[in-house]
Structure 1
Amino acid sequence: MRVQLSSSVLELEPGSTGTVTLTVFNDSSVIAGYNVSVLGADEDWISITGNSASVFPGESCEMDITVMLPRRFPAGQRELQIHVSSRESVKDFELATLNLLVGSFEDLRIRVDPPTVTAGSRAVFAILLENAGNAAVLSQLFGSDDEEALRYRLDPVTVRLEPGEMQSIRAEVSGGRPWFGTPMPRPLTFKADGVELPPQGAAMFIQRPRISRWMLSLAGLLTAITIFAVVIRSGFESVANSNAVDGDLIEAAIADDGPAGQTLATNPGTITGTVESNGGTAISGVTVEIFSAADGETPLSAVSTGSDGTYRLTGLSAGDYRIRANGAGFDTLWFPDSPTHAEADDIKVALDATEDGKNFVLSGQPASISGRVMAEDPSGAMAVLVVAADSIDSDVPAEAQRVEVATDGSFLLADVPSPGFYELIIEKAGFAAEARSVSVRGGQAVEGIEIVLREGVGVVSGLVEGPAGALGNVTVEISDGSTNRRTFTLTTEGDVGTFALRDLPTPAAYTLTVSRPGFTTETLSIVLDDSRSEVDDLRIRLSSALGSIAGRVTSTDGSVVGSALITVTGADVQRTTRSMSATGAYLIADLPTPGSYAVTVAAPGFVSQTQAVELGATDTGNDLRGVNAALAADTGTVEGIVRDDDGNELGSVRVSLTNGDAVFTGFSADVTDQLGRFRIDRIPPGTYTATFTRAGSSTSALLVTIASGLVTEQDVVLAPQASISGQILEDGIARAGSVVRLFKIEEFDTTVLAEVTTGANGRYTFAGLEAPQDYVVAVALAPGSSTLIASEIVSAIPGTAATDIDIDTSSS
């Protein structure tokens, strides 16, 4: 075999696709098939299309090789090998080289932590620089402020980042501080060059004055405030520590005595994994440090997890390591789930190898939620923390914690599991329950929540029904812009579908929204005032939000295709049915709307067909009709006319097609109106050898290509049949009325194949003879006589007329 690429170089941008054509030539003497694979690339990146099943000797086939690069594919050149092997022998193969030239894109990101520092004349920041592009970046960092009042010292100033690497830089900012007055905010910016669009990170340096006004107060008051400030500062430091992002990484970056901004080496060994919360949510910004298995004090390097929670430790020599993950608000963990270095598992790293799947599951440190209830008399109010769940039937307990509000209106919910999403509800008899949605990070102290209590006596209640009766687990929400309440219809026997929203402030105009997946959403306007503070007779009906798809399946010629398999596939649903035998019609119902669906129709003997439809769109509605399919046959047809050299149509010619595995046969017609015509149906696509044979003619052979659903026209001309002719003589004179008989030589004098009587010129002819074949031409004594008076042996050759076979009877 020989192989050839349409181009040996393929230029691609990350995230794009490109195609080259591979041609395989069959230099052998037999029909051959080929297997094609691509070496040096992930199989998910490669798509190969084309027919290489049967290639005749001296012919070739073409296949399209499409390369689909992921977005983060490294820039530069990469060599791929196209491996083509024979299906008859794996030892028979060829290689072709394809060079990928991958373009580069820049994505350099910067983050400053902490974003705000309050200090005297000097502040220290950590700059986290991440290369999210696909090419190495050499970047230099700068600091600036509009007042030009600050000095900057960055260590290191210049960094080189490989694709996917993150690095921390220590930034020391200093400047003259005021003697008296209030703290002075100084906004500043850090900038990283080396890319076309340099990223910038904003920060704030708040400088405290040397002498504050409170220092001039009375000594007794100063002492009290000082003690109080120490206590408060200790508390805030604890909160700040628990909320620090990438704490260890930042401390390493800003430590005065540590190596700042150490760049990770680019060595063969690699460790990868993910970091998730115990709720299964990816955690970004977690510091993952790597240590020697023998030393748990000094990290060798560190990285931060990306937005998807993944990390990658590169540049590792062969050896045993242990890794640790710590993030703000989460418990520190050594891989896989140990609190100390001594109890951690070793990770053995080899050169040119990646240890993946080193995943962490971190538990959040307890959080807290505090605030104040604004009311003339908040005593007796309760602060209730409820887990945000999709329904009251959730497996998660609805109420997480309940505390009584202090007489001054303050409340504190401590030891709140984190991270999590909650609803904070303030309840008090005679007042409307007020709710706030609260999201807490690991170990976060959420403070400063203020909730105003309003007197409430309003009630809205009723029943929600669907097409089949009362509906449980329906979300019922009410809002007037200030008060927002939510509940669910009951699922308990006897109360299914009922709901009640109580303690609503009045007077007010509310919007009531009722919703459940699979049903339409209904919205009502309700006014509660002194004349009517209770609405308890609501009866709300939700219509089904399910839709259907219907159509008809036929062949391309319009005939019905029954029992075709119809598959409708959506995001979370798949339905199947079959078309009706008599009409080809089908219907698939109970499809969630709105939604995008793929409708695939398949039937034996036909090419499958897929089309995309939108269900529930404003212009189509929930019930989509006319989604028809006209299927093309997955086999083809060959037809044509057989003629002789003079253009005359020839009947009873045997037509045969074969690809080495299957044979299809037929005959040309011998009826007057279709003479010479032939047609063979239901031939699988491919290349075939077609042969045309008839007695006495040379066989004609040619290559025919069959395509699905198409008719291939192929006419052919056959050579004349074999024949024998001559003259019967007596003493050299034509003998009229002689009886001439034809025998096969092996059947001589027993079986007469043909008999003719000469005319006045003594001539005879035997046409349409089988050949090659030896015959005997004999002259009988008289009509009806079995006595033969003369004979001649003649060899008939296909397509050849044996003429002048003269026989003289005078010598008999």
Structure 2
Amino acid sequence: MRVDVSPLQADLQPNVSQLITVTISNTATIIAGYAIRVLGADPGWVQLDTDEIALFPDETRVLTIMVDVPRGIPAGARRIAVQVRELTPPYESKVTEIDLTVPPNPVVQLRVDPMAITAGKRATFSLLVENTGNTAIRGFLAGDDPENQVRFDFEPAHVSLAPGQHSVLDMRASAKRHFLGTPTVRSLSVYLDEIAPDAFLEPPPAQPASGEEREPLAGATFIQKSVMSRSALSLLGLLFAATVFAVVITIALSRLVAQSTADRNLALQVAAAKNNAATTGQSGVSGVVSLLTSGKPVAGVTASVFATSDTTTPVATTATNAKGAYSVTDLPAGKYLLSFRGAGFVQIWYPGAVNAADATTITLAAGQVQGGLNVSLGGVPASISGTVVGDDVSAATLFLETLPGGATTDAAAGRPLGTAPVPVTPPDNGGAVVQRVPIGSDGSFSLANVPSPSVYELVVVKTGYATSTQRIDVGAGETRTGVHLTLSKGDGLISGTITSQDGPLADVTVTATAGQQTASTVSLTGAHAGTFTLRQLPTPATFTLVASAAGFASQTVTLSLGSGQKLAGVSITLNKSSASLHGVVSLLPRNERAAGVGVTVTDGQLTVQTATESKGNIGSWVVGGLAVPGTYTVTFARSDLQSQTVSVSLDAAGNLTPGSLGAQITSSGIAVSMTPATATVWGQISQPGGGHVCDTSTNALGEATISLSSGASTYSVTSASVAPNCGMYRIEQIPPGTYTLAVSAGSGTSPSAQVITLVAGQSLHRNVPLAPPASMSGTVVGCTTGPCLNWTVFLYRQADYPTTLAATTQTDGATGRFEFDNLEAGTYIVAVGSTGDPANATTTEQVTVEPSKPHDGVVITVTS
């Protein structure tokens, strides 16, 4: 594999797309697949032509990546990386880094609250200074009035704001007032004088230098009363009645919950009684096959039923359907063992044994159909290896975890980034720990025998360092190499206050993200309501802060921390206006509901991720807390499906605007139909005169072995031997490429092979007819009375003669002919006798039979 990326350095202008080209060449001798990802960038900034391609040997393709950053992005250098990973052996992965620079654009806004104050000697105003540019601002506040009679005091006197940050200050204006008379109106102007980068932190002169003019950022009015004017009185309102009302509602709801619990218990008892009802009919077995790692149903798995006395030849076989279900009926009463085998999976015996000796025996009574025989298949174990980089990675610990579930996530636990537990304790991110390995001084790690296929999180923790997390999708039996994780020192801090229009807001989830690092906490309640603190953040770094709470629109702030910086006084205001998006994802071509599809909603600043439901209302999803009005990009992705992206707009009421309505988007939600990223091959095997023909009308053949091979990967299944799937086979989740489809049915039949090419989403129907099996026929002559009628013909394999018979028959009562069908290829000994006792055979003949060929004209001469 050869990868070239251009350019490696570029300047980014907000809302101006930057084109990056990726040239991929297949230097291998087989068809290869590649996955392309952009690391270190917000998904909403990046648009790819496609994230997966397949190339023939020596083929080269150029892909384009558009990077578009939103306005307000902080100035400075950023580094992203383009990862190209082979989906076929040797599974090589290459990462190319790109340096991007956002030029500075300083913009400051200042607002005075209130605009006018009536007071005596002095008045106090609140100033809101907001940095709406993309670079840091440092300056001193100053003020003046036309009469030059007002003295200004600012607390604090200077401001230092990062991009997107704002600060609230106090401005006190004082002047000598008249003893009697009407109030004096004084017009005030407020300025922000920038501090040179190399200046000392001393305030500049209150007045500009001679001849210098400057524009005020804001103005206010100070209405100064005389000494004898009346003072203003203010009234305070009481809200005590609201507390009484809340208590009444709480008591009423508790009664409803108790009644609902009783109704639920009654419904469960009724359902249990129904499930205990016995079933009748022919004897049989049924169940569902699912993935061990994710619980999703698995189609195309061969289910074989064996008698306990013979575990080499199945009594019957079938294959699981699209929902992972299987059913075998028409079984006689007796004791059986069940075996399950699928392409890319380890064969198991019910309920989870690796061999027949440890399997559980299924006992069927006459007419009994035993259901619920469910099993979970695991793929061939995978392996993951890579490197942890940082200033000191020794004594760190790497955890391999399943994806978080439920509410046991970092956000719910409120665990700040970097407050990692000691290395022997797994991080509480809501997922189960699969493996744990220590990291040495060289940073290398290796994980073997990883259950697959599945999606995991790699988590690196070390005391005093920021927790680093990376999600990884592992295929069945995959050998993943070149995984890189960064361990950063956590010595930064961000603290502040969350408020709403009603005051401080508690229980708000605050999440800070910088590359692979994520920190979460919750704003406090009680005396310090609304305050939050994120500790042990890696520095220097730029963080995206997202504040979210039920019933409020999420707010996003971008902050930059210098080396060891501790940033306090961050103020975030949440508005109550919010909306949600929802919809359903289906899978073509059958329009089945698709579970476990990742859904990413972003407006360039806020990014929210969820997944479609796997239980209950399968395929549905919902994302709430979206700010309105706004335009959002919704991306749907799953490892085995081709990704899709739609754009929607929400008005101020949270309704989808007509501009976003289309074939997939309606006022009731977003309906998306996705196509597989892999292919499927299915069909029927037939053979006239075959030994396992299970449908004579179509010559459908069971127990045939079907294999699909690309040279690097091989998939193998067995055709079904029972109705209604007699002779059918199905192989799913095949990566696109060129394969050899081979079918065999014993040594007596010539195998069939053909080359097929598969593309993503294709469902190839390919029936395979096999030539008839080998046979032998001939005549027994030499009898004095004419044809040797009703003589016995004994057939032995050459190696088994004369101890073990392979078959017997009698000559025709009219012509003396005999015939053997469905023979394995090889050399045989044919013996003839006038009685049924092989010890009385008088003549033998050696005959060699070839696959799928009739050996006719055998003449055996006997002495009467």
Q: Which has the higher contact order (CA 8 A, sep 6+)?
A: 2
User: TM-score of the superposition, structure 1-length normalised?
Assistant: 0.42
Structure with bigger gyration radius:
1
TM-score by length of 2: 0.40
